[in-house]
Chain A
Amino acid sequence: MNSQTPLLRQIHPSFLKGDQASTQAFRPTPKDKDRLSFDDGDQISAQAAWIRYTNERGLQSVGVLAVAVQQCEGENLEVDPDGVPDPEHVSVNFAGKTNGQRRTISKHLRDFAMARGWQVGPEEATE
């Protein structure tokens, strides 16, 4: 993993309206315990990560967006290639950030990701 490595993020269908992903997709929910999950795009393709997430795990994702490692680090976030639960898993740590900071960061990350474009999908919304 280097500063240009794409970090792959699964997007829940409820976090997509029209062509725009919610900033919520780029900040931790309470169940994430400050650590936002990504896959290391140098180790697994976006397509393979999406298939594993949806088909094998049965979780919901309309597609995959990505941000670069340096874009996370530019927001003063620690990027931790923890390898759990998958070898390619990466956690981006939001610990110590206030709610306001998390919102600002998630807006930046969402915009970086949308500017890079969808790596997989998005599937047509069912609604």
Chain B
Amino acid sequence: MTKEILLEPHFEGERFHHHTLPLSLLRDVEALQGIILEIAKDNYREAHPTLKRLPPRFSDRYELHMSARQGSFVAEIALIQDHELLPGCDPRIEQAKHARDRFLDVLVHFQQQHQGPPPTLPEAAWSYLEKFGRGLKPEESIRLVRGETIEVKFTQELRRRLLLSRPGSQPLTEEVRLLAKVGGLVLRERILSLELGDGRMITAVINDQQIRDLGPVTVSEFGKRWVLVKGIASLDANQHLLRIEEAETVEPLDALDPLVQLEQLRQLPAGWLDGEGLPPGRELMSLVGQWLEEHQHDDGEPPRLYPTAEGGVEAEWRIGRLDLSIEFDASSYMAEWHALDLDSGEVDEQQVSLRDGSGLKALGVKLQRVLADGGTKPSAAAEGGPA
């Protein structure tokens, strides 16, 4: 047997640097089976308008296989070719390639934002297109190449453009990681209401295990208790969440969880400090969030995150007898480390530019060391690098 490679989706992004594919993205790859098959069916019907039915076991004949080779993560989507046929004599190959080409032509149309109507796709293919790339994060893409002339970088944005073009006005679905407050819970119907940052409420149908994961919730906690929901959400054309279609995990979060504190900072209005405070900007919040996620131990003392009047963020820890604060200053774009040993009065100060990636990483390692030491070693604060 030989394999005829139809597509080589290159998964590009941080998650694929180890040449692996998260299992959660297999559904996205699986969608290619439906896309190729439905287009192949449509092509067949167009080519044989007098036939009332597709040939028997048509679907089985287009069972695609995936293999992988090194790269960021490069999948090979192939048809397995019967060895009894001479190369080039299997009609399925040409038909599958034709289906692939039609799929890529549509993507190219939207990637290049061509004017005029896009090449059409069969209605039955859209439910699979909905799944393809749904798990991509904003900075990730799937690169699809055909020959030397066609290259498509399939991103969240391209997926949106494609799906918004489909006939009818159906909501988009996307994988989401949503931080919200519990707005209500109807146990009998397993409906969890979620209060979003803008005050809107959406619902999620959850299962018995997720209700157990959520733990007891009293009415007095509605609007206060934070929860992290991962799953598939439907969104309108303006990217507003409509509902959680399928909740995969429901995780209650403590009020001091950094995710919750960061979300509270994001919701600060301009003039939050009696008319004068600047809210932290999106870029700074993203940087602080990523830095903490990388260096703050889940089981370590959580930081308390406070806004600064100038639009920065101050993280404060009490680790044993060490009073540590790091100000992420929005105006100077510096991280300012200040560790005070409450017994000796010794102070360790360090400044790192927020644009200095390696400096920030070293500061993170210093934080990890201090957290691991529990602030008990007198020299802990001073060990982490140049002051």
Contact = CB atoms under 8 A, between A and B. Distances in A.
A23 B307 contact: no
Nearest to A106: B325
B309 A17 contact: no
A22 B304 contact: yes
A29 interface: yes
Given A31-B309, A60-B274, A100 B304 contact: no
A24 B261 CA distance: 16
A119 B280 CA distance: 30
Interface in A1-59: 12, 14-15, 17-18, 20, 22-24, 29-31, 59
Given A24-B314, A100-B338, A104-B340, A17 B273 contact: no
A29 B307 CA distance: 12
A29 B309 contact: yes
Interface in B296-326: 304-310, 314, 316, 318, 323, 325
A125 B264 CA distance: 12
Contact of A24 (B268, B276, B306): B306
Contact residues of A: prevailing secondary structure? helix
A99 B347 CA distance: 12
Contact of B268 (A14, A59, A99, A103): A14
Nearest to A100: B349
B42 interface: no
B347 to A, nearest CB: 6
B264 A127 contact: yes
A15 B264 CA distance: 12
A86 B314 CA distance: 31
B340 A127 contact: no
A99 B340 CA distance: 14
B204 to A, nearest CB: 21
Given A30-B310, A103-B325, A107-B323, A17 B274 contact: no
Contacts of B309: 29-31
B348 to A, nearest CB: 10
Interface in A44-79: 59-60
B261 A17 contact: yes
Interface residues of A, number: 22
A31 B274 CA distance: 11
Interface in A81-127: 99-100, 103-104, 107, 111, 125, 127
Interface string B247-280: 0000000011000010010001000111011000
B32 to A, nearest CB: 44
A14 B277 contact: yes
A3 B336 CA distance: 34
Nearest to A31: B276
A18 B256 contact: yes
Interface string B222-233: 001000000000
B261 to A, nearest CB: 7
Given A29-B309, A31-B309, A100-B338, A17 B347 contact: no
B306 A22 contact: yes
B57 to A, nearest CB: 59
A102 to B, nearest CB: 10
Nearest to B275: A59
A100 B342 CA distance: 15
Given A22-B314, A127-B264, A14 B325 contact: no
Contacts of A59: 274
A16 B277 CA distance: 16
A15 B316 CA distance: 11
A127 B325 contact: no
B306 A14 contact: yes
A4 B261 CA distance: 36
Given A22-B314, A59-B274, A104 B306 contact: no
A118 to B, nearest CB: 17
Interface of A: 12, 14-15, 17-18, 20, 22-24, 29-31, 59-60, 99-100, 103-104, 107, 111, 125, 127
16 contacts: A12-B274, A14-B272, A14-B277, A14-B306, A14-B307, A17-B304, A20-B318, A22-B314, A23-B316, A23-B323, A24-B314, A31-B276, A103-B325, A103-B338, A111-B323, A127-B264
Interface of B: 224, 255-256, 261, 264, 268, 272-274, 276-277, 304-310, 314, 316, 318, 323, 325, 336, 338, 340, 342, 347, 349
Given A14-B307, A22-B314, 13 more contacts: A18-B255, A22-B304, A22-B306, A22-B316, A23-B323, A23-B325, A24-B314, A29-B273, A29-B276, A30-B309, A107-B325, A111-B342, A127-B255
The 3 closest A-B pairs by CB, nearest first: A17-B304, A29-B309, A22-B306
